Copies of this chain bind each other. A is one copy, B any other.
């Protein structure tokens, strides 16, 4: 298995050539993030991921996490790797400089997240959750809470979690039962059981800061009666150091299909001391700060796995000799040709790469809107960017995780039967990728978020913004007559416009039609978004000169995507327009 290599050149292409980095670099507080600085940071991160994290990945899967009497031990090597990772400043890459972070844009953080996921996705879930916890406290915490928690989260000396799910409620958090009762000192006693808590307990940090959703005694029922609390594993003393153990414990860890090095914990809060963060009963709003960020991270995890699997499959396809090319012997001195001569093997490899690179562009495009929406001086520009962020987030999450799952499955297929054997690592990519379709809101939920919620928001302003961007690109490319990528995008865009009209027309009175179309509609939107980014990439590559192999690769990939993947919109339009009738005809008993 070849060593993982970070896609450094592609980050530079996307950030500096495809997107306009000056839009991020020009934001207040990001002036230091020059292309040179960003390249140096990413290059250093890539080395760390390749040298330190990737070598631990296979064993972490075999060994898993260890649970004994409330204590969780991470797989061999994680403790040392985490120490180096946090000391290198990687946990706090996008944390504010005043908190001891590096103050770099999200556009840079998501590159790091991708590399960590490609090298060792299980490991990435420990610092990943901390960054979300940091962000929630930074945006919703009191000055005292910020002072108490942010520096140690930014440095990685402490870590964080998000405690949402309970056994009987995941998607439907309105049914939550965990209770928060005020104590006499302005704090709260938290009681309840949370499940599926990533990094809920482990041996990497001195303290763990849980963000816990719970109900106040007088809370209204449902989702509008949920508040958010900071619940540290060790109460923080006046000296800012972890002191007394809080009344919470990890009662079990899950045995999972994948990400076996990531501790997924059942957490029991037994009158644990917690501190309200944000307003009472407005906990979901605060938590969405974290969830919106984590949804991008999950999409990016899929991209990292697609890239990693592609690298190994590519290597294997050049080494493995099997059968002769149909168009004549390519390797006469050997008993067979390398399998990369076979069109169907190329189809699999190109699919993997078109997804990895296309979804990377999509995620970083979305990240640039996060940065602009948070930092731009002009409120209108911030609002416009926030529209695009909100529209693209479910697509990054669901489309990229689906693409990552599909890509890692093709990676197994390139290996044939050998892909099924654990030691080669190809099947681990599949098992790790599976969770990205499920956690942080299943991809079904992402689709509903897009089709039922985001399309309706502000009278359709979000989808109109997206449509305008793609439409203007197509209009500007009109003189690119005969360009097959632009032509294919135009066709897909027409399908998308028709589908959007269909779904929007049913938002008010036909929610079952919307729900029936949602998964196909998200996929179609993702195909158009990737098609737009591939067409733009091809345009950039043409300008830069296709005699350079890197740019030539972009052109070939764009044409591949246009010819072999984007045409899926034709069928999706038909299945979207089929409506709810074929789904709702059966009674529940008849299933």
Say if the beta carbon of A32 comes within 8 Å of chain B.
Answer: no
Say if the beta carbon of A220 comes within 8 Å of chain B.
Answer: no
Q: With A583-B346, A586-B553 as known contacts, state yes or no: A417 contacts B591, CB within 8 Å.
A: no
A196 CB, min distance to chain B CBs, angstroms:
5
Q: With A168-B321, A582-B563 as known contacts, state yes or no: A344 contacts B515, CB within 8 Å.
A: yes
Q: Is the CB of A317 within 8 A of B412?
A: no
Q: With A571-B570, A583-B560 as known contacts, state yes or no: A516 contacts B254, CB within 8 Å.
A: no
The residues of B that contact A103 with a CB separation of less than 8 Å are none
A559-591 CB mask vs B (1 if < 8 Å, else 0) is 110111101111110110010111111101011
The residues of B that contact A437 with a CB separation of less than 8 Å are 413
A518 to B165, CA, bound (A): 44
A572 to B565, CA, bound (A): 10
The residues of B that contact A256 with a CB separation of less than 8 Å are 420-422, 427
Q: Is the CB of A347 within 8 A of B516?
A: yes
Tell me the chain A residues, 90-128 only, with Cβ under 8 Å from chain B. Answer: none
A354 CB, min distance to chain B CBs, angstroms:
10
In this complex, what residue of B is CB-closest to A451?
B344
Tell me the chain A residues, 157-181 only, with Cβ under 8 Å from chain B. Answer: 165, 168-172, 175
A335 to B350, CA, bound (A): 47
Say if the beta carbon of A444 comes within 8 Å of chain B.
Answer: yes
A348 to B434, CA, bound (A): 16
Q: Which one of B340, B571, B588 contacts A567 once the chains associate, using CB atoms below 8 Å?
A: B571
The residues of B that contact A381 with a CB separation of less than 8 Å are none
Q: Is the CB of A323 within 8 A of B257?
A: no
A538-551 CB mask vs B (1 if < 8 Å, else 0) is 00000000000100
A321 to B588, CA, bound (A): 14
The residues of B that contact A346 with a CB separation of less than 8 Å are 583-584, 586
Q: Is the CB of A255 within 8 A of B512?
A: no
In this complex, what residue of B is CB-closest to A452?
B326
Tell me the chain A residues, 395-452 only, with Cβ under 8 Å from chain B. Answer: 412-413, 416-423, 427, 430-431, 434-435, 437-439, 442-444, 447-448, 452
A452 to B326, CA, bound (A): 10
Q: Is the CB of B584 within 8 A of A575?
A: no
Tell me the chain A residues, 24-69 only, with Cβ under 8 Å from chain B. Answer: none
A435 to B419, CA, bound (A): 9
Say if the beta carbon of A22 comes within 8 Å of chain B.
Answer: no
Q: Is the CB of A578 within 8 A of B564?
A: yes
Q: With A172-B322, A431-B257 as known contacts, state yes or no: A344 contacts B519, CB within 8 Å.
A: yes
Say if the beta carbon of A336 comes within 8 Å of chain B.
Answer: yes
In this complex, what residue of B is CB-closest to A422?
B255
A88 to B216, CA, bound (A): 62
The residues of B that contact A165 with a CB separation of less than 8 Å are 417
Q: Which one of B317, B560, B584 contacts A343 once the chains associate, using CB atoms below 8 Å?
A: B584
A468 CB, min distance to chain B CBs, angstroms:
26
Say if the beta carbon of A511 comes within 8 Å of chain B.
Answer: yes
The residues of B that contact A258 with a CB separation of less than 8 Å are 420
Q: Is the CB of B515 within 8 A of A349?
A: no
The residues of B that contact A317 with a CB separation of less than 8 Å are 591
The residues of B that contact A75 with a CB separation of less than 8 Å are none
Counting chain B CB atoms within 10 Å of each CB, the highest count among A168, A353, A447 belongs to A168
A260 CB, min distance to chain B CBs, angstroms:
10
A423 to B578, CA, bound (A): 37
A223 to B519, CA, bound (A): 47
Q: Is the CB of B322 within 8 A of A169?
A: yes
A321 to B167, CA, bound (A): 11
In this complex, what residue of B is CB-closest to A421?
B254
Q: Which one of B170, B345, B511 contacts A416 once the chains associate, using CB atoms below 8 Å?
A: B170
Q: Is the CB of A343 within 8 A of B516?
A: yes
Tell me the chain A residues, 521-561 only, with Cβ under 8 Å from chain B. Answer: 549, 552-553, 556, 559-560
Say if the beta carbon of A314 comes within 8 Å of chain B.
Answer: yes
Say if the beta carbon of A132 comes within 8 Å of chain B.
Answer: no
Say if the beta carbon of A76 comes within 8 Å of chain B.
Answer: no
Say if the beta carbon of A338 comes within 8 Å of chain B.
Answer: yes
Q: With A431-B257, A563-B575 as known contacts, state yes or no: A345 contacts B444, CB within 8 Å.
A: yes
* New A-B contacts (10) at CB < 8 Å, excluding given A344-B518, A349-B591: A175-B335, A175-B336, A255-B423, A344-B448, A347-B583, A350-B583, A556-B586, A559-B582, A559-B585, A564-B575
Q: List 12 A-B contacts (CB under 8 A).
A: A170-B418, A326-B515, A327-B512, A338-B588, A340-B588, A343-B512, A350-B583, A350-B586, A420-B438, A556-B582, A560-B585, A567-B575
